[in-house]
Amino acid sequence: MDRSRPVATTLKYAALFAYLVFLAFPLFWLISTALKTPQEIALIEPTMIPNEPTFDNFRAAFSEQPIARSIVNTAFVSSVSAFLTVLLSIPAGYVMARYRSVVSRAAIVWVLLSQIFPWVLVIIPLFLLLRDFGLYDSHLGLITVYVVWSMPFALWMLRSYVAGIPYELEEAAAMDGATKARTLREVIAPLLAPGVVAAGLFAFVSAWNEFLFALVLIRDPDLQTLSLTLVKFIGAEGVARLGPLAAASLVATIPSLIFFAFMQRRLTGGLLGGAVKS
């Protein structure tokens, strides 16, 4: 049919091209800006590709702002959050998959509610609560919030992974006299590895990218996460600083990109596959 309708085909590719420029070009522009010299950024007629690509902006970003410190902070908060989220979600996800109980049903409702919830309703009392516990303006407080915040989704993922593991395996272990905790540790957990990695990465990237809680809960500049440092960066808005700002933003994007490259098959393939099968 394509060959018989050249006009339609051309229009189709033109439309697709326009879409892709719209969606992918801003990232290209960010990269381009990050590699330009201050003089080139200040040109009235911006150039698409930097004339003399330079990494000076990256150097400037790290020296002008405490980017390195923020990266360490963010990496620490994100890894601990991811670890704790997964650690708590494995047994709870198991219970959700294997028991028909009030708790499992309530958890499902909670998971769904958490998707549509306006966080402002929680953030004020959460701020007050953490302050009362002495956790305001501390990494521990932020981690606590991130763990609770990532858990609905981690639970949801791990629950379906557990449901995919044949129950017969557990029965065999039970026959041999293993307790449930031991069965979970030695039989189920190893089979859950892909789900654990996916849930852990999700929790890590959510924490890495998060902004609102960090904005409300962290005040000390030494404790700031990357999102906060970047936003502070905007305040000092000379044209000369656009380069370092773009460079620092690119650095902040790296974990997201890695996560995405890793998960892409599951994000698109899984979703599409599931739809085709049903």
Partner 1 sequence: MSVQAPPRRGKARTQPTARRNFLGLDREGLMLAVPALIPVVIFSVYPLLRGIYLGFTDAQAGRNTETSFTGFENYQRLMGDSYFWESFRVGLIWAFSVTILQFFASLGLALLLNQKIRMRWLARTLALVPWAMPPVVIGIMWRLIYHPNAGLANSVLKDVGLISENIDWLSSFSLALPAVILVGVWAGMPQTTVVLLAGLQSVSRELHEAASMDGASTWQRFRNVTWPAIAPVVTAMTTLDFIWNFNSFGLVYVLTEGGPGGATRLPLLFAYEEAFRYGNYGYAAALGNAMVLVIAVFVVFYLIRRMREAK
Q: How far is the CB of 106 from partner 1 (least distance, A)?
A: 9
Residues with Cβ within 8 Å of 32's Cβ and at least 6 positions away in sequence, in order, are 47, 48, 49, 50
In this structure, what is the dihedral angle of CA atoms 143, 148, 153, 158, given to the nearest 10 degrees? 90
Hey, which residues between 176 and 235 contact partner 1 (CB under 8 A)?
179-181, 184, 194-195, 198, 202, 208-209, 211-212, 215-216, 227, 230-231, 233-234
Residues that contact partner 1, how many (by CB under 8 A): 113
Task: Name the nearest CA neighbour of 163 among 99, 83, 89.
Answer: 99
Residue 68 to residue 61: CA distance in whole angstroms: 9
* The binder of partner 1 chosen from 50, 54, 83, 92 (CB under 8 A): 92
Please state, in angstroms and rounded to a whole number, the distance separating the CA atoms of residues 62 and 55: 11
Give the position of tokens 């960066």. 233
By CB under 8 A, name the one of 67, 71, 126, 196 that touches partner 1. Answer: 126
Under the binding rule (CB under 8 A), the answer on residue 236 touching partner 1 is no
Q: Which is nearer to partner 1, 222 or 238 (CB)?
A: 238
Segment lying near partner 1 (by CB under 8 A), choices 52-60, 63-71, 75-83, 141-149: 141-149
Residues of this chain, 25-44, that bind partner 1 according to CB under 8 A = 26-27, 29-30, 33, 41-44
Q: Which of 102, 109, 175, 177 binds partner 1 (CB under 8 A)?
A: 102
CB of 90 to partner 1, least distance (A): 9
Task: For residue 258, give every residue at least 6 positions away whose Cβ sits within 8 Å of its Cβ, in sequence order, or none.
Answer: none
d(CA 35, CA 41): 10
Subset of residues 47 to 86 that bind partner 1, contact rule: CB under 8 A: none
Of the candidate residues 20, 49, 172, 197, the single one contacting partner 1 (CB under 8 A) = 20
Least distance to partner 1 from the beta carbon of 55, Å?
18
Instruction: With both helix axes pointing from N to C terminus, report the angle between 193-209 and 139-163 in degrees, rounded to the nearest 10.
Output: 150
